[in-house]
Structure 1
Amino acid sequence: MKTYKVESFQLDHTQVEAPYIRVADQKHFVQEGEVRSEFVVSKFDIRFTQPNVEFLATATIHSLEHLLAENIRTYSDHVIDVSPMGCRTGFYVILQGAYTVEEVYELLTTTLRDVVEAKEVPACNEVQCGNYRDHDLEAAKKEAIRFLSHSKEFLQTFIRIT
């Protein structure tokens, strides 16, 4: 099989078991100057559905994106981005700092509890969203509940034992 530069293209999607949380990448940066500074950026693969088996509907993943992106920032000032995967099986969460799966689990589950309690999708209007008609709050809540129904240990054990 051809090798690619994109980390997720290196992942054998047939050997994972969703849902899960995994460190997709950590980049260590050093900036030289009058004062030398170092920082880390961590990227997490937050997988909601089994790759190549089930997918989040576009309205569902769109609503989850809005809800996660807004609410996760209540609990962390280190969030750089929350982005849906093009395959519609989950999200990437990018944070400033060297985070662990355990820390992201706590951050994500706290945020997903907010999703379950949400009364509306944030920024769901034509001024703040480029496709504001394509949302499904109730489906987003159901996916949040489904993700939360798995234990911390299960979410961290994502490679099938064969």
Structure 2
Amino acid sequence: MTQKLNVESFNLDHTKVKAPYVRLAGVNKGINGDEIYKYDVRFTQPNKEHMEMPAIHSLEHLMAEISRNYSDKIVDISPMGCQTGYYLSVINHDNYEEILELLEKVLEDVLKATEVPACNEVQCGWAASHSLEGAQDNARRMLEKRSEWPNVFS
């Protein structure tokens, strides 16, 4: 890779990371001084494994809804197109340890969920593509390796 690209993750050597991990992927400062912190929350090893779309979709709904029970700093939680994780964006919150704690609480609540929020044709653009069981399996696997989250590289 010789040319630096505009997208931060395109400049990350995906062969050197060791999932699962939670990595600060960037900080953007707004014109009024607000800062957006973007975290790479990687569930599976890039180019070796991936999550299935119904599980990703349900886990996105669950994390988006549940995370806001714990923080008013959440800007967005969005799945990666490569199906290996999510981006978590927060505003004016730069405490990495608190982000890890937030994610742990959210994933623990995912395991207790009995349904996927907004899993219907009125509130969701592809309501047929959901799997609570798959979302919970992914959350469980991520939580089992909680101690590894800060370690991005092997």
Q: Same fold (TM over 0.5)?
A: yes
Q: Partner of 1:99 in structure 2? A: 94
Would the aligned equivalents of 2:40 and 2:85 in 1 still touch at CA under 8 Å? yes
The TM-score, its normalising length taken from structure 2, stands at 0.96
Q: Partner of 1:145 in structure 2? A: 140
54, 63, 66: which is aligned to 2:61? 66
Q: Measure the CA separation in 1 of the matches of 2:149 and 2:73.
A: 22
Would the aligned equivalents of 2:73 and 2:93 in 1 still touch at CA under 8 Å? no
Matched AA of 1:123: A
User: Larger Rg: 1 or 2?
Assistant: 1
Matched AA of 1:156: P
SS in 2 for 1:139: helix
Q: CA deviation at 1:109?
A: 0.5
Indicate whether 1:25 and 2:19 are aligned.
no
Would the aligned equivalents of 1:101 and 1:156 in 2 still touch at CA under 8 Å? no
SS in 1 for 2:26: strand
Deviations 1:77-132 (A, max 9, x none): 01010000000000000000142321111000100011000000000000000110
Matched AA of 2:15: T
Q: Partner of 1:110 in structure 2? A: 105
Q: Partner of 2:9 in structure 1? A: 8
51, 71, 78: which is aligned to 1:76? 71
Q: Partner of 1:156 in structure 2? A: 150
Matched AA of 1:13: H
| Matched pairs, number | 153
Quick one: percent identity of the two aligned structures?
48
The TM-score, its normalising length taken from structure 1, stands at 0.91
Q: CA deviation at 1:151?
A: 3.2
Q: Measure the CA separation in 2 of the matches of 1:6 and 1:94.
A: 15
Q: Partner of 1:46 in structure 2? A: 41
Q: Measure the CA separation in 2 of the matches of 1:101 and 1:61.
A: 24
SS in 1 for 2:104: helix
Q: Measure the CA separation in 2 of the matches of 1:96 and 1:110.
A: 19
